[in-house]
Amino acid sequence: MTLLHSWRAVLNCHPTLIKKRVASSKTSSMSRSASRSDSNPVRARKAAVLMRAKAAGLFGLARKRSAGALRILCYHGVWLADDGFAGDSMFMGAETFRRRLAIIRRNGYPVVPLADAIAALAGAGPALPPASVVITIDDGWWSTFHSMLPALTANGMPATLYCDTAQLMGRQPIAHVMARYLEIVAAHRADHNATAVDNAGVDAARIEAALGRARDLTAPMEARIAGCRDLAAALGIDPTPYHDARAFDYMSPDNLAAAHHEGLDVQLHTHRHTLGDMSPAFVAREIADNRRALSDILGRAPETFRHFCYPSGVASPAAANVLGGLALASSTTTRQGLAWPGMPMHLLPRLLDGENMSEIEFEAELSGFGDWLRGARETVQRLRGGPRDPLSPSSLRRGGHGNIPVSDPARG
């Protein structure tokens, strides 16, 4: 199969935010990536095509053609439990994250602070090096403090944490996330462990009741955590190792302050991890409460927090308009793509990375080749009469073209 004849398979296979992947913890990170591709014929075909595209010089060409676009990487946390689950698009392996930073460094992508990048994107700041990268992390998980920040420090790379503050200040495990991953771990055990719970012996009604209590965002956190404990018991999972590893905990306010003191840029992610009905009043309240809480924790003036990330990937033009009136310089989404000049500053796409993405896919995204593939797929869909997504990076880019001013490497 020629490279040209392989595009259809590539154009129809893209990573998404929540895609559960499991693999044996006894393998290396490279083996895990290989096993993921090998077990899925479509993904294996995509990986093969991408490797051929890279060998043909298309990654290098894409990098040159997208030199003026920002690569805003998006991460969440690291999977801390030692239970055989390799991670997914939310919690990736610690070694995978370290390898990602090594790829960035080895391929010479400059990592720049978010504020500098946004200023350049808006045409209000100094020139950036070509193909600049910004590293962003969402939420505020303990694993970010425990595993990601040391890796970033070791590589001398700046990063921004978009932190929602109510959960951070609650100092308890995040029940609805714990419930979701208890289900994932149970499914992993059923697939990989001969001692897994027999489906015939599972009390489905008890599981559903426990899930309902764990996911009830209106209930007190103690009741939701009790639901998680009951769910774990029903699934035959001992929750103690997850509690001890703080797998579902946020970092503490003191941890956040320490990280900020060491150079971590901390920005806005709402106070309660929601924009509710996205009404102007709700959005303004969440931003104000988030600013106030971060100000108290970090000892900074509320108005110095000027960058925002939509929680749960839920964004809209209406919310963007509201955010534009709240003295914010930028807002990022979870739409996959490069950030180009001319895009609305409060609907900026990012490149979502996770354990569900192989190394060759990650390299394709960094180079800009992945962005080209998505644009080509959208063009094909439009030619076939398909609906147009107004919030896709390709659609947003049509609102304004151009390049970020970039410095000439020869002149430093």
Give the pLDDT confidence of 364-380 residue by residue, as tens digits.
999 999 999 998 888 88
From CA 266, how far away is CA 298, in angstroms rounded? 9
Is pLDDT of 405 > 90? Answer: no
- The DSSP line for 292-361 is HHHHHHHT--GGG--EEE-GGG---HHHHHHHHTTT-SEEEEEEES-B-TTS-TTSEEEEE--TTS-HHH
Lowest mean pLDDT among 8-12, 14-18, 230-234, 345-349: 14-18
Residue with tokens 């599981």: 207
Is pLDDT of 25 > 50? Answer: no
Total number of residues shown for the chain: 412
Residue 278's pLDDT band, with cuts at 50, 70 and 90, is very high
Rounded mean pLDDT of 91-101? Answer: 96
3-state SS record for 38-104: HHCHHHHHHHHHHHHHHHCCHHHHHHHHCCCCEEEEEECEECCCCCCCCCCCCEECHHHHHHHHHHH
- The structure's pTM equals 0.85
Give the pLDDT confidence of 222-255 residue by residue, as tens digits.
899 999 999 999 988 999 999 999 999 999 999 9
Lowest mean pLDDT among 257-261, 362-366, 407-411: 407-411
Give the pLDDT confidence of 328-361 residue by residue, as tens digits.
999 999 999 999 998 999 999 999 999 999 999 9
From CA 180, how far away is CA 123, in angstroms rounded? 42
Domain with CATH 3.20.20.370 in the chain: 4-171+250-400
Residues 6 or more apart whose CB falls under 8 angstroms from that of 348 comprise: 70, 72, 121, 330, 331, 332, 333, 339
Q: At what angle do helices 221-235 and 204-214 cross, to 10 degrees?
A: 150
- Confidence at residue 85, expressed as pLDDT on a 0 to 100 scale: 83
Rounded mean pLDDT of 46-67? Answer: 96
Q: So what's the architecture of 4-171+250-400 in CATH?
A: Alpha-Beta Barrel (3.20)
Alpha carbon distances (Å) from 409 to 69, 125, 144, 151, 212: 16, 18, 33, 27, 56
From CA 115, how far away is CA 401, in angstroms rounded? 21
Average pLDDT value over all residues in the chain = 85
- Confidence at residue 191, expressed as pLDDT on a 0 to 100 scale: 67
Lowest mean pLDDT among 127-136, 155-164, 216-225, 383-392: 383-392
List strand residue ranges (DSSP E) for 68-192, in order: 71-75, 77-78, 91-92, 133-139, 160-163
Residue with tokens 């209930």: 219
From CA 71, how far away is CA 136, in angstroms rounded? 10
- Confidence at residue 39, expressed as pLDDT on a 0 to 100 scale: 62
Is pLDDT of 28 > 50? Answer: no
Q: By C-alpha distance, which of 243, 247, 235, 238 is closest to 184?
A: 235
Structure tokens at 95: 């070694």
Q: By C-alpha distance, which of 108, 127, 107, 109 is closest to 117?
A: 127
Alpha carbon distances (Å) from 37 to 18, 22, 32, 169, 403: 17, 12, 9, 40, 35
Rounded mean pLDDT of 160-189? Answer: 92
Residue 83's pLDDT band, with cuts at 50, 70 and 90, is confident
- Which amino acid would we find at residue 216? D
Is pLDDT of 193 > 50? Answer: yes
Residue 86's pLDDT band, with cuts at 50, 70 and 90, is confident
- Which amino acid would we find at residue 104? I
Is pLDDT of 33 > 50? Answer: no
Q: Which conformational region is residue 389 in: left (phi greater than 0), alpha (psi within -120 to 50 degrees), or beta?
A: beta
Give the pLDDT confidence of 177-191 residue by residue, as tens digits.
999 999 888 887 776
Q: By C-alpha distance, which of 188, 164, 184, 160 is closest to 174?
A: 164
- Confidence at residue 161, expressed as pLDDT on a 0 to 100 scale: 98
Rounded mean pLDDT of 308-323? Answer: 93
